[in-house]
Amino acid sequence: VLGISTGGPAALSKVIPKLSARFPIPILVVQHMPAGFTKHLADTLNNNSKIQVVEGVHGMKVKPGQVVIAPGGHHMSISGSRIAPQVTLDEGPMVNGARPAVDRLFESAAKMYSHRTLGVIMTGMGTDGLQGCRTIKGAGGFCVSQDQASSVVYGMPKAVAEAGLSDEVVSLADMDNRLQMLASRVAR
């Protein structure tokens, strides 16, 4: 699972297109964006990537080798079972001033995948993702945050790093390689 905000589309365009079409786990993304913009982001990334990128639809199956971007205006979470996970969307109250909220996605992932959860916090304003990373770490999962030098706004990743929840702090230039390596480890 990946959470990102300010500077996100540019950062995602430097990471997602470099991922293998056979990426071993699904990637669910919360990008703080209003309704209408996330579909264009998903389509643009999909057209420039080997891995499939789609905007999330309520009830869709979650599968390895796929990036699912939360639609603007909707919280996205993972439900179902580990064998048949699916996307759940809702228009519940804003969390951390956002809908979609990173915390909602991360908490559902930790509940579903426990110690096999990989949480990534990238550039963005505020602290959304902090509680989600705390939940992932509490379940035995692994968290990565983007470094200050390569973040457009070092808010969300800073909150996670300063709380001692980052297992690794990674530059934008190295993010695709680290994700590929960590995903292979988690998929086993």
Nearest to 28 by CA among 58, 59, 63: 63
* Of 32, 108, 150, 151, catalytic: 32
Q: What are the contacts of 173-177 at 24+ separation with CB within 8 A? A: 173/14, 175/14, 175/15, 175/120, 175/122, 175/144, 175/146, 176/14, 176/15, 176/18, 176/19
Q: Is 5 one of the catalytic residues? A: yes
Nearest to 168 by CA among 141, 136, 142, 134: 142
Helix (H, G, I), strand (E, B) or coil at 120: strand
Query: Could you give the CA distance from residue 183 to residue 93 in angstroms, rounded to a whole number?
Result: 32
Nearest to 100 by CA among 129, 64, 76, 125: 76
Q: Is 75 one of the catalytic residues? A: no
Alpha helices in the chain (DSSP H): 8-15, 37-47, 102-113, 130-138, 156-162, 172-187
Distance, first Cα to last Cα, the chain: 17
Q: Is 77 one of the catalytic residues? A: no
* Of 49, 77, 128, 151, catalytic: 128
* Of 5, 108, 145, 150, catalytic: 5
Q: Which residues are catalytic?
A: 5, 32, 128
